């Protein structure tokens, strides 16, 4: 076990599987007490992974973890989650907003209900959880917020436009990730004087996780999940005075630090 996060509490959302699980495991291995949340608490044959499995794997590796089930599309669940985490292990020093829901469909037929749900999960929930975390971070004089974003949030270039932008149905996904990037930068600016870092991280290529497989995102060029966990660790432990307002793509970000060939 490392001690890079010793004495810190990290709250990681969407940690029953995929990127959230990997980041929670990395922060725990670095010494953090990790609070994990998702909708799936117990193993379920309909899903890959659960909070219980993530928690037990972290504990088996010598780490400290608690699990709190929550539906982060609901205001009351977000408030309850924060209350339960604070009561059990203390207010988070580190908040990782990873939980997401994604539907792929052309925008001219995109259901408004699903659009609202994606906006709630990708933008409103990270904002609300950050608002809940900031008071204790201000009191401590330090804090780290990391939002998991995507290169899909980049503005499409054209015309002509690529098949990805015209045919793949990623318009709403790109929209909410672009909004999350802007939210990240705005929070970083507003919280800079409080010594609270707010950053975002995106894999340079799709990572072969269960979610990516479901969405057909990882059929060809994929990225080692270790690159995103390393990026997350750096952004969750860097000096808030100098490492904030970063929208990091894993490969160029790590290459700039001499950690990627």
Which residues are the active-site residues?
A: 173
Bond prior to 160 in cis (omega within 30° of 0)? yes
Residue with tokens 């894999």: 203
Query: Three-class SS of residue 51?
Result: helix
Terminus-to-terminus CA distance in the chain, angstroms? 26
* Separation between Cα atoms, residue 27 and residue 91, nearest integer Å: 16
Other beta carbons less than 10 A from residue 255's beta carbon: 13
Residues whose CB is less than 8 angstroms from the CB of residue 158 and which lie 6 or more positions away in sequence, other chains included = 165
């Amino acid at each position: 076990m490392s001690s890079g996060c010793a004495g810190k509490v990290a709250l990681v959302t969407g940690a029953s599987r995929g990127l959230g699980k990997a980041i929670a495991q990395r922060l725990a291995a670095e010494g953090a007490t990790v609070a994990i949340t998702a909708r799936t608490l117990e193993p379920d044959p309909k899903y890959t992974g659960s909070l219980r499995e993530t928690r037990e794997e972290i504990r088996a590796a010598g780490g400290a973890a608690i699990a709190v089930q929550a539906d982060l599309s609901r205001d009351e669940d977000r408030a309850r989650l924060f209350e339960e985490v604070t009561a059990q292990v203390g207010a988070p020093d580190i908040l990782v907003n990873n939980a997401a829901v994604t539907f792929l469909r052309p925008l001219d037929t995109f259901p408004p209900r699903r659009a609202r749900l994606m906006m709630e999960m990708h933008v409103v929930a990270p904002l609300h959880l950050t608002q809940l975390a900031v008071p204790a971070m201000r009191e401590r004089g330090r804090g780290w917020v990391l939002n998991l974003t995507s290169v899909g949030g980049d503005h499409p270039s054209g015309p002509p436009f690529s098949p990805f932008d015209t045919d793949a149905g990623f318009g709403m996904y790109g929209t909410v990730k672009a909004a999350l990037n802007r939210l990240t930068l705005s929070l970083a600016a507003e919280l800079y004087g409080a010594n609270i870092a707010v950053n975002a991280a995106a894999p340079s290529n799709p990572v072969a996780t269960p979610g990516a497989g479901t969405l057909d995102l990882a059929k060809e060029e994929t990225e080692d999940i270790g690159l995103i966990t390393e990026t997350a660790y750096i952004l969750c432990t860097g000096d808030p005075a100098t490492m904030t307002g970063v929208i990091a793509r894993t490969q160029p970000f790590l290459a700039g630090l001499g950690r990627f060939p």
